[in-house]
Homo-oligomer: A and B are copies of this chain.
């Protein structure tokens, strides 16, 4: 496996692969890889001729007071995992390489889709995401790019950006991968102490409750949200950021639970902000 740290070298490699007629798959990550990432990597390996995994903790998508500095990093371990998966190239640039002195170009998706959920809690976050992902697309030139459904809103926004800026590629969303007890895998789970780790289970439990209520015929957004909120508040160390139910295509408001529906939540457990979601066809 080749590890590139320079934009130009990564791009030249990608252009060379294109000239050879290879179909490039890209899995953009912030590293500290877990089985959620690796499930995307395996799918990319199965569907593409060559796979690039990018590892870059993108400062542009972190707000003031967020965990940019603390975000876990371990390139040696990540590279070993990717090597084992048969990945052809890892792209791990420095911040200075991605955003040189005087950098000032951004890509932004406007409207409801970025204003709600994490967009509301983390102003500027998605602008940072769409900017870095645009750069990664131009550097790595994938035919297919893989994103996890754990970040459902991110995936929706990137799909909209790809459609609207006409990037010549396709987005594939991989399903949420969970620990055996239900906690959605996240690089941030390492922040949790033992007690918090127990409380963190409530995110997937609240989604399970929502699914049960909806499958039993509940159509009221308010009632499902209320049941979820009550369950979450019953656990120690939890502090709800949001619990929402929106249209699963564009995050528009729902009069009732019907059609493609996204149940999404963000909960602070101790100091750790965790997200999870459930996409349903009702």
Question: Nearest-CB distance from A17 to chain B (Å)?
Answer: 12
Is A7 an interface residue, CB under 8 A from the partner? yes
Stretch at the interface among A73-81, A97-105, A195-203: A97-105
Q: How does the 8 Å CB contact mask read for A88-132 relative to B, with 1 for contact and 0 for none?
A: 000000000000101111111111010000000000000000100
Identify A166's interface contact among B7, B18, B161, CB under 8 A: B7
Identify A109's interface contact among B105, B130, B165, CB under 8 A: B105
Is A138 an interface residue, CB under 8 A from the partner? yes
Count of residues in A whose CB is under 8 Å from the partner chain: 33
B105 in contact with A168 (CB, 8 Å): no
Give chain B residues whose Cβ lies under 8 Å from the Cβ of A104. 109-111, 113, 160, 164
Knowing A18-B18, A19-B21, A21-B19 touch, does A164 contact B103 (C-beta < 8 A)? yes
Q: Could you list some 17 contacts between A and B, CB below 8 A?
A: A11-B168, A14-B168, A19-B21, A102-B250, A103-B164, A104-B113, A104-B160, A105-B108, A105-B109, A105-B161, A105-B165, A106-B107, A108-B108, A134-B165, A135-B165, A138-B165, A138-B166
Give me the interface of A with B, judged by CB distance under 8 Å.
7, 11, 14-15, 18-19, 21, 100, 102-111, 113, 130, 134-135, 138-139, 141, 160-161, 164-168, 250
16 further A-B contacts with Cβ under 8 Å, apart from A14-B168, A104-B111, are: A18-B18, A102-B250, A103-B164, A104-B110, A104-B113, A105-B107, A105-B108, A105-B109, A106-B108, A107-B134, A134-B165, A135-B165, A135-B166, A138-B165, A138-B167, A139-B166
